[in-house]
Structure 1
Amino acid sequence: MEEKPNPTRMELLKIKARIKLARKGHKLLKQKRDALIMEFFKILGQARDLRGQLNQELEEGYRYLAMASFSHTIFDLDNMARMVRAEYGLDVKEKNVMGVKIPKIRVEMKEFKSYPIFMSSAKVDKSVEHFRNALKLVLQLAETETAIKRIIKEIEKTKRRVNALEFVVLPRLEEQEREIRMRLEEMERDMFVSLKVIKRRLEKEAAF
């Protein structure tokens, strides 16, 4: 059972200060929630664009590979694929968005080894180029999808805190404030009545 607050002026001032602080916190958390939702939709749009680009690069890569199969045997294409070696450098940093750490991945190709020119054709080269682009997009997509998951988690956490303040903490504090005010008003009325009684008694005694 919740302990009732003491009906004193000091306690009333404390409750009012807590209400003010809770309202300020509620406002700030709502602003944070709204900013996170905006960031979520922004990154979601980026993820959709990246997925579209990735699908396009893969489609083009397979299209050129299919065309290359008309002038190269499967054995030749398999040999060329085995000769392709790419070494990438990843620079992973984090940026802070409203308290959420979001990864930022920068991809840099350090070394690329390919098949001899005499084995290849323009169709094979274009296919390799599109698949290389697709790999970079996969890494960028992983970055955005990780960011989306973290932002969703933080939005849910912030929403719970907003709701707790709005529907639990503030109503309880406001009820305590009303109760203290009522008790103080009641005590003041009782004190006023008592003073009137004492005054009348003193007036009667003075008359004798």
Structure 2
Amino acid sequence: MAEKANPTRMELLKIKSRIKLAKNGHNLLKQKRDALIMEFFKILKKAKDLRGELNSKMGSAYKSLSIAHAYHTTFELESIATGLEQDMGLNVKSRNVMGVRIPEITASLDEREFGSGYSLMGTSAKIDDVVEDFGAVLRLVVTLAETETAIRRLIKEIEKTKRRVNALEFVVLPRLEHEREDIIFRLEEMERDSFVSLKVIKRRLEQEAAQKKGAS
């Protein structure tokens, strides 16, 4: 059981100051939570749109690949694909949203280099379509990974902030306000006791004075 605070004016001022500080913190955390939730839904919509776009691009890419199969053998396509292998450059930055680092990833894929791994001689224009379509798919995959990473980080921070808001709202503030009311009650009780004691002392002094006056 928590020890009761001393019923003094100084302790009452301390409790009131702590209540004010807790309320300010509670308001700031609520603002942070609301801002994070807004950002979460904005990025969630972006991710949903990207998934739809990615599905569409994947469909187009595989359709282009299917058409290319009509012009080239599987061996030829595999040889071309091997020649296209290259490292993708990724430029990773981040922005701060209410203390949460949101990644911003840019894929660097040079179309000229990406398409220079195969000879134009002996290949059809359909190969260019395949390269272009799968390059677009690759960029979308990177962007989608960026948004889904941001979503996971935001969810984690939102839950953390909600717990802190609830702790202040339902635990800390009620306890401090109870302590404040308890101190006020005990101070008033002490004042009443002091008032009664003073009245008793005054009455006794008056009685003693009357007795002395009567004796004289």
Partner of 2:186: 183
Cα displacement string for residues 60-92 of structure 1 (whole angstroms, at most 9, x for unaligned residues): 010011112112222222222122133422111
Task: Name the residue aligned to 1:33.
Answer: 33
Shift of 1:16: 0.4
Pick from 147, 151, 163: which aligns with 2:154? 151
Aligned mates of 1:78, 1:100 — CA distance in 2: 43
Structure with a larger share of its residues in strand: 1
Structure 1: segments with no counterpart, 5+ residues = none
Q: 1:198 Cα deviation (Å)? A: 1.3
Alpha-carbon distance, 1:123 to partner: 2.0
Report the structure number with the largest CA radius of gyration. Answer: 2
Pick from 170, 173, 194: which aligns with 1:170? 173
Letter in 2 for 1:181: I
In the alignment, structure 1 residue 2 sits paired with structure 2 residue 2: yes
**Aligned-residue identity in percent:** 64
SS for the counterpart of 1:85 is: coil
**Matched position secondary structure for 1:114:** coil
Q: Which amino acid aligns with 1:129?
A: E
Kept after mapping to 2: 8 A contact 1:64/1:126: yes
Moved over 3 A (4+): none
Q: Give the counterpart letter for 2:37 in structure 1.
A: I
Number of the residue aligned with 1:119: 122
Tell me the distance in 2 between the aligned counterparts of 1:22 and 1:119.
Answer: 74
2:107 aligned with 1:107, yes or no? yes
Correspondence for 1:97:
97
CA distance in 2, matches of 1:184, 1:119: 98
Alignment check: 8 A CA contact 1:86 1:109 kept: no
SS at structure 2 position matched to 1:4: coil
Of 38-47 and 67-76, the range deviating more from structure 2: 67-76
In the comparison of the two structures, how many residue pairs are matched? 208
Letter in 2 for 1:100: V
Moved more, 15-24 or 113-122: 113-122
Q: Secondary structure at the match of 1:86?
A: coil
- TM-score, with structure 1 as normaliser: 0.95
Cα distance in structure 1, aligned partners of 2:197 and 2:121:
112
Query: 1:93: Cα distance to partner?
Result: 1.4
SS at match of 2:103: strand
Measure how far apart 1:166 and its partner are.
0.7
Q: How far does the alpha carbon of each residue in 1:165-192 deviate from its partner, in whole angstroms, 9 at most, with x for none?
A: 0111011001000100000000000011
Q: Do the aligned partners of 1:105 and 1:139 also contact (CA within 8 Å) in 2?
A: yes
CA distance, structure 2, for counterparts of residue 109 and residue 131 of structure 1: 12
Letter paired with 2:22 = A
2:144 partner letter: L
**Contact 1:54 1:137 survives alignment (8 Å):** yes
Deviation, 1:108, is 1.6
- Matched position secondary structure for 1:204: helix
Unaligned 5+ segments in structure 2 are: none
